Structure 1
């Protein structure tokens, strides 16, 4: 199979970086991208500014390939998603040329002539990737290995606190968004609810908090499932990514000022809609009424359906690659960052298959671009037979300064190795209040 290409699913940051490494190793990559452009998922949140600086957003092999075309490393700073695409991802895809195939939706990955059950001669058979084109036509491509970098963007989590859509959530679809808002001016003077505790929810809260400054009759309620705010405001000075710390600090001040009301221990069980708006109901009976819009930003989850006829090992709770689950589980690790992962940890029972990028983390919320770049560097070194490079760790991830999951989910205050969070007084800000 050595003459066959390495097939890469997804032309996002990790997929394109993987292709650059494959090419640099003397192998031939083919990148299959469902969208019409490189970084199509990133483009959907192009209005959001990243808390990672340019040096943390460019893969080393990708930079070497780009520099051979005359590309210049972007000036230091913090790009938006749109700038990440236009100044790095799209030029990288262009440097890879027709190895990147757009409008190519992968519908399945299998072994030639073998379903999941058959063991005999399995490892000697090439992978077969079935693809659906723009016009609906289907075709097959064979490869010596498959790197699944398809991400999790298309499968956001629901508002429901039980992990499934709340009663009425689907019926209320016109009032619910699962994406970070861009222009929120149309919501002025209305009641808006944000559900979620991660960085996406924080971005949404800050945009809406700014709207409250412009139009004080706007009401913003931030709903957290946990009983304590804890790490939702980040690690502050202990965070090795300063802009991530700034993001959390701004969110804390938005709550303390009263521009944003915080509801903790609120697990959405029902969403009712009538002529006056929506009512969001918690499983303990609390209600948020007259809601014009709900932003459900509860994270993402992987879709492994294209791999259903391959032998894969995923953690039963995180749905992450089993070999890395214990190191990234937010229920287990406490202060500090997670470690870098490579080919050994990402290996699957199906030899030659690797799940990388955000999809490898499943539902875990701690993924950074740097993590994915180190993953693909190690994986491609392994595929090229360079076991020494594959085993080597070339990345130390930045510390978050946050206790991950150390406290009880239902406890009113977080526990574990970090100092307890400061008490936050909830209430609306007086007229003209500012931070």
Structure 2
């Protein structure tokens, strides 16, 4: 219980979002016997996961199921899929998240089509000090065309960053013209389902992919497959850097077999000529042209495309907490105490240490950001880390300060983010990753 607040046992904890980390938080709350409500803006549980259902995760099932959720599901006879198998987003949804959301301990608390628009301290604003910490939270959300409110003892925002992908220039800024309707209809963000739902959109077209991470590489590999099957399809890899990172060609020596396989395959398609590479591409503007786009670089050169995939990461949107007092790092937009641990200039996924409530707390006590959104603009989030975050947060809310401070997750020393990886490459043996068990993790949470 938050010290000095006497409404904890009466008002619910509000969880924003019902993705993997949101449902893990709900399982922790159910196990602790705390009242809670989960507000999901989509029409179904873990709705955002449907958008990346075609993506195969680098992490195996052993890292993708939250311990509290597994204990809860075990009471129904549910068994976790084989720990060394790497699921797709669709597998995660169908085999784990949907059964979890349907569990009797969680289902009554889930509210769908409920988009949270604001969180504040009831009866006050961001400026006022008097009695602030004793006031409950007021959570406003939009449902069925009208605004509704609920008071809460605490709020855990696990809404993620999937709905706010970075644009082609400077995160949210984008190139001039990028958001114009006749331009935007030819742009996809993150990881479109090139071989599935988006096949007709990309087949027979000249497609550019902007970005250098695993999302971009996975999309390039899928487009190369599409080009083999659909005549007239061509692929251009657009890199902001002046050269391909030398590590790109070191996949065969990568300790992480799945990541290594991805790099090896990407190098192969580049060397084969199936993917054209253009480096030093810094966009200034994107203009419409008949049937497609014209990219204008800062150097004044132009590139004509039919479709563009912008795979340059994600950013958080903290607008809903505009009346709260948050302690955010000015660069990463994550909790200030967490920033030194996740700065992408210093860390890869695997070097980030587990952490909990103490590093995630804000000046408005009882409000937490967990999951992918807690990492702000850093690309290093691990789903298992999100499970540990909410375990610690809920332990603190329940008054179990010992459990809240304890670290109950051991992470590997190396790790990766995510990719649309072929199934065969995504299932290495346990001994192939630097030790006795798989050390493959992902960022989608």
**Class of the TM-score when normalised by the shorter of the 2 chains:** 0.7 to 0.9
Deviation at 1:33, TM superposition (A): 0.6
Distance 2:203 2:19 in 1: 35
CA offsets per residue over residues 379-410 of structure 1, 9 Å max, x none?
A: 111111222221222223334478xxxxxxxx
Aligned to 2:53: 46
Mean alpha-carbon deviation: is it higher for 245-254 or for 38-47?
245-254
Matched, 1:2 2:8: yes
Matched, 1:293 2:303: no
Deviation at 1:15, TM superposition (A): 0.6
Distance 2:111 2:349 in 1: 42
> Cα RMSD between the aligned structures?
2.1
Aligned to 1:147: 156
Over 4 Å off, 4+ runs: 237-241
Aligned to 2:340: 326
On the 8 A contact 2:251/2:260 being kept in 1, the answer is yes
Summarize the Cα distance change of 1:202–1:106 in structure 2 as closer, same or farther, 3 Å threshold.
same
Distance 1:307 1:240 in 2: 41
Deviation at 1:79, TM superposition (A): 1.6
Matched, 1:308 2:314: no
Aligned to 1:394: 408
Distance 1:384 1:231 in 2: 49
Aligned to 2:111: 101
On the 8 A contact 1:381/1:389 being kept in 2, the answer is yes
Of 78, 83, 88, the match for 1:80: 88
Aligned to 2:41: 34
Matches within 5 A, 1:239-254: 241-254=256-269
Matched, 1:158 2:167: yes
Matched, 1:278 2:288: no
Distance 2:387 2:13 in 1: 17
Aligned to 1:358, the other structure's residue is in SS state: helix
Matches within 5 A, 1:16-415: 16-76=23-83, 77-95=85-103, 96-133=106-143, 135-160=144-169, 163-171=172-180, 172-182=183-193, 183=196, 184=199, 186-215=201-230, 217-230=232-245, 233=248, 236=251, 241-275=256-290, 277-289=292-304, 291-333=305-347, 337-400=351-414
Summarize the Cα distance change of 1:162–1:12 in structure 2 as closer, same or farther, 3 Å threshold.
closer
On the 8 A contact 2:256/2:415 being kept in 1, the answer is no
Q: Which protein has greater RCO, CA pairs closer than 8 Å, 6+ apart?
A: 2
Distance 1:62 1:176 in 2: 37
On the 8 A contact 1:42/1:81 being kept in 2, the answer is yes
Aligned to 1:322, the other structure's residue is in SS state: coil
Summarize the Cα distance change of 1:138–1:231 in structure 2 as closer, same or farther, 3 Å threshold.
farther
CA offsets per residue over residues 188-243 of structure 1, 9 Å max, x none?
A: 44311001122221221111011233346432111122334327749746766532
Distance 1:276 1:104 in 2: 37
Mean alpha-carbon deviation: is it higher for 183-192 or for 30-39?
183-192
Summarize the Cα distance change of 1:203–1:387 in structure 2 as closer, same or farther, 3 Å threshold.
same
**Gapped runs of 5+ residues in structure 1?**
403-435
On the 8 A contact 1:108/1:129 being kept in 2, the answer is yes
Aligned to 1:272, the other structure's residue is in SS state: strand
Summarize the Cα distance change of 1:288–1:396 in structure 2 as closer, same or farther, 3 Å threshold.
farther
Mean alpha-carbon deviation: is it higher for 225-234 or for 136-145?
225-234
CA offsets per residue over residues 68-127 of structure 1, 9 Å max, x none?
A: 122121234222111211111111111112111111111111111111111111111111
TM norm structure 2: 0.85
